Each structure stands twice: as structure tokens, then as C-alpha cells.
Chains A and B, each alone.
Chain A
Amino acid sequence: MAYAYLFKYIIIGDTGVGKSCLLLQFTDKRFQPVHDLTIGVEFGARMITIDGKQIKLQIWDTAGQESFRSITRSYYRGAAGALLVYDITRRDTFNHLTTWLEDARQHSNSNMVIMLIGNKSDLESRREVKKEEGEAFAREHGLIFMETSAKTASNVEEAFINTAKEIYEKIQEGVFDINNEANGIKIGPQHPTTNSTLPSSQGGQHAGGGCC
């Protein structure tokens, strides 16, 4: 499918907070309660629409364990967006956010959009981290914030899409250098220059960007 832009995302955060489930919910619209531990990094992709434009999201789901940290670092620089996830039922995962954030800020390009996600909002009775705390952390560090549930799919779409919106706005503002692919942004094969409102499916077949 032809796209106007391609954004690269990474998903980071402690192990077990639901990163893989969030990705699966977003790409496949399903929840898998018993999930394999992610070894290294796994890839997923989906198309979304923002402002009438097709945007392809390529997402790398990373392993949260300490032993994979150094591998994860290789992905920061080339990503336009990062979902930093903690588990609202486990305070330790919230406490580790600072470390994650430092790591991300140190190795990423300065424009990377970071979305803070408090996952497992369906487990209200076991909540250990208040929503206000998440909000405060996000405000303090200049992040966007949402609470999600990979189980009920609540806010999952929004989390990925709002991140993309933020990146998109930054592009419009000219903050991102879209010609440098190292920033995790790519312009589509036949980027519509002015008449961007035309449905992009028309040009799709000719451009050789056929099917999937």
C-alpha cells in the first residue's frame, strides 16, 4: 500500500509491562494472555490515517531485560517515536522510568517523540500507580501520556496514533529533517506534493507499490 510517510517506532520499558501485547493488539487486534518472552527485538507494522494521509508505522518491540539493554540502544537513534511503557499494577516498573528515559534521551535523536504509557488499566483493583502520578511524570519530562489496556484494547489505537500525530505536527513545523532517514521518518514512494487530499489508492497500482 502506498503511504505518504513512514514512521519508525520502538517500544521500551521493563519486561512484563505488556509491550508485546500492545503491539499485537495494535497490529492484529487481538490479545494473547500467555505470551512468549520477547527475545531481542520483534517487528510489527500497520497503516494508519492522519489528516487524510496514509502513514505506515513500523514498530520494533524490544526485550526489557537488562541483558538486552545494550542491543535495544542500537534502535534509539533511528526511531522517530518511542512508547515508554510501565505497568500500573507494578510500582517498580514506574520507578524505573527515569532510567529508561535517560537511556532513550542519551541515545536517540533529540526530536524523538516519547509517549509514556501506563498499561493494564483494566486491572483497576490492583493499581499501584495513580493516573495522576503518570501525568505528573509526563508533565515533568515533556512526554505525552496515556493509560492503556492491551487486554481490552482501551486507548491502544490512540496511543500509537497520537504519537504519530505529534511526529506529524513536528514535520509540519519543520522540526524534523525528513530527508534524513536516520531520524526514523521516510517520505512515501510517490509523496503527494500539493493535492494531498486525493485518495492515495489511485496512485497505488502504478507506483509498483502493489499489495501488502
Chain B
Amino acid sequence: MSSPSLPEETTVLTEELTADVLVVGGGPAATWAAVKAAESGASVVLADKGWCGSSGATAAAGTGVWYVPPHPEAREAAMASREGLGGHLADRRWMARVLDQTWENMHEVASVSRYPFPVDERGEQLRRGLQGPEYMRRMRVRVQRAGVRILDHSPVLELLLDAHGAVAGAAGHRRQADRPFRVRAGAVVLATGGCAFLSRALGCDVNTGDGYLMAAEAGAAMSGMEFSNAYAIAPEFTSVTKTAYYSFATFHHADGSVVEGAGSTRGRSVIARTLLAEGRVLARLDRADEAQRRAMRLGQANFFLPFDRLGIDPFTDLFPVTLLAEGTVRGTGGVRITGDDCATDVPGLYAAGDAATRELICGGFTGGGSHNAAWAMSSGTWAGRGAAAFARALGEGAHRRRLTPAGGVGLRPTGTPGAADGHREVTEAVRREVLPYDKNLLRDGAVLGPALERLHDVWAVARAGLRGHGKDAMRARRAAAMTATARWMYTAALAREETRGMHKRLDRPHQDDPGSRHRLVTGGLDTTWSVPETGAALPVGATAAVAAGVAR
């Protein structure tokens, strides 16, 4: 069994820290959580795998924001707009809360962070979008001003539990100092982003599902994991998955003829099919007029990086495109939320942003384009305040608790440890199952079943032998986290025997209403399970789900 000491504690002294709230992550969800926890009076440590301010999907990409004025008709239209697309799994009460909170937070972005929003001809600020580098560098400043201690380049590897199973801190590795660290905390917010399987989608390689694995090891469940197959358009061999402007594109076969039915919002699967069959799809943004072209350059400078550097004029030249997996980043699955404060199934553990499920406001349809950004700042706010309140309620005894590390796979192998670079093989084995369009995007039970079996085998091997030391521990754990995430995705995708939201089953092309109009709660480590969410208490242990006959 696992010993209560940290793995591979060698001669290097562990850096020990104490805080009321530990925030894990460094993107919008994490920074809002840290700011709001600190404003609630908590002492806060924020630990980011990368550098808080440049790391994560938002910093590199930038986001449109679900920012809707508080006029009843506008709000009603905003809430109604994606309900059907999401397969009616979203919740109006949560949508309204997010719209209110986002309205407030965007005001703070303007007034506290002095973000330079564009202004219209009447001098009114336009607050429907946030440029990534600018927004996140200002959020970092705000976090620092709030007195939060930031640990950059400090991937968190595992959670620490108290004797009652409550989350009471976390441990990780400061990679630029090559030194382990440990934070005792009254409560922990997981804001580690989603999982894009190292697909090289813009800014997403830090997002490897680490938070999902850590949460599950502590006893939390996931929700919406079947809605995890977002794919984004990018110029071939590049990372720039900015898709909005492809609504001005026409798509072509290699011989120049038009690909019928292909499109960026409607018809992305047509692009996938053509790529599978012909190996090539060309695009050209020829539906934009002069004024629109000029506006695009101002709107999203990073969209043009590949074109300008490769000498392509995207408005007149045909250029090859690809689809890159963005998994749960622009999907909606993540850690299940059990309360308005973004609590999870585990006491002391809160989840925000892409680490949490976004089904509450998106249902099964992508949260990209506006909802995710609104969710990240809203859920971050609630999780930060919730964690601060939890820590406060614990009182002085919080930091005297005896801690047990919860991490398993990749840290404490159950068998003989394998090679130091074993993470590579695990990572590639997982990517082989989740990246191909004919497995994950164009789904079929007959394909998903065997893929899931192979993923279970990858897990078994990893559980027995995968282990990374020091700086490599992060690589081992992210490989493990991607394996776990992939298994939950396909376990849920098989359990949802219909088409709903972004989950499209070729063998089940219809939406089954009302029979399957419910969320799926998914989890488990050595054995995975997926069950319909009911009002009843959740079978968090795998055993209950096995009894329900849905495991593996």
C-alpha cells in the first residue's frame, strides 16, 4: 500500500508551505479563484504547471465571452440559443448565475484591471472578447496585488487527504528549482484546465487532464465526459486552432473542387471525412469582403501568425487545413459539481474552469466561443469563495491534520517500476486511441468498445510500472492523467447510446428523447463506470456501479 511519505523523497529538501486555500492552475479559472479567495480573507497559494499569465488555453488563444446585458429579453435569447444544441442538458438557473457573475467580473476586468477594451462610436466599451496575453497578464498582476503567493513552473502531482478523506493540500515539483514542494491547505481549488492530449492545439499542451485524475483519486466523479471530442480547424502542421474566421471559408478538394457540406460550424465532420479519405482539404477565406478582412487582423492578431510567416494570403490562396483535437478544452466534460460554490463530491475540494464540467451551462454542445470563458471566471469566483469559506470553518486545526498522499498511477507503481521514459509509450498509446477522427469524432460503438479495451490495458501497464522521479514525475503523471481521461471519455461515450450534443454516434444517429435526456456521471480508476445522474446519492465507489452493471 502507499506510504504516507512523498514518493522518491531524496536528499533534496521539500519546500513546505501553508495556506488557507491552495489554487492549482494558472489560467482564468485559477486566477479568479485566487483573487476571490484572497478577497474573502484567506491566505492563498497558487501553483501553476507553467507560468501564471502565459499558460493555458486562454493566454495563448484569447476568448469571446458570454457577456450579455441584464435585459430580460437579451438574457432569455442568450439562454435559449444553445439549449437544443446542447441536448437540453444545461440548467437555466446555472446559466442565469453565470451571466450575472460574468457581467460583474467583466466590469472588474475594466475597472480594477483597467483592461483596454475597444470602444464604439458612442464611447461605450465593447466587452464581448478578451485578448489572451493582455487579459492574463493583467490577471497575474491582480493575483499578485491580492497578496497571493504564486508558484510558477510548479506542477501539482497529487492531492493530500486528511484522516476523514477531506482534501487538505497537495504536493508537486518546482521544476526550475528541481525541488519537491508541499502545501498544507484548508481547501483546494482545482483549475487545471481540460485535456487536449498534447495535440498541439493553441496553448493546450499544459492541459493534460491532471486535475481530473487528482480529483478522482480523492474520490470525485466526472460529468459529461462523453462530450469530449471537440476538434478545431488549423492550417496544416500548425498550432493555431482559431476557428471563428473559418466561417468566411470555402473548403476544397486537392483538385480545387468544392467540398460539399463542409463548414466550420456545420460540417466539421465532412472535413474530417474528406481528410480521412483523401488526406487533404484546402481552405480559402474568400467569403470575406475588404472591410471584413481588415477587421479580422485587428480582431485576432494570432490568427494570422501562420499565414504571415508561411507567406500565405488566406483570402486569395488555397491552403491545407487539419483538425486538431481539443478534447475537453472546447468539449464540456470535467469534474462533477455538487454545489453552487463549485464544491465536488469530496469535502475540501472545489473545481473551476475546464477542470470542472461545463454541462451546467452548455449541455453537450461546445463551450468554446463564449460560454467557457464566462464559466471560467464565474466558477473560479465561486470556487475561490467556497474554498475560503470551507477553510475558515475548519479553524485553527486545519493545519495540524495528518496528511496522506492520494496519488497512485505514475507515482507509486503497484509492480516493478518500468523505464524512466515509460511515459512516452503510455502517451503515444493513448493518443493512438483518442486523436484519430474515425475513432473519436465519428464515433461508433463497434470502434469505441475495442479502443476502450486497449486503453484499459494501457492503464493496467501504467498502474503497475509507470513512475517518474523529480522533473519527470510531471510527465509520468500527465501520461497517467490522459489515460484516465480517455477511459472516462469512452466509457461515457459507450454508455450514451444515442447522438446528443457533440457526441455523435454513427451507429446511434438519433437523439433519444426523453429516454436519454440526462447527464452521465462517470468515474473509477482501475475499473471505470458511467451511470445516469439521478437525484439519489451517487455511487462514487466503483463497486456500486459494477452492481449496476455498467463497469468496463
Q: A and B, one complex?
A: no
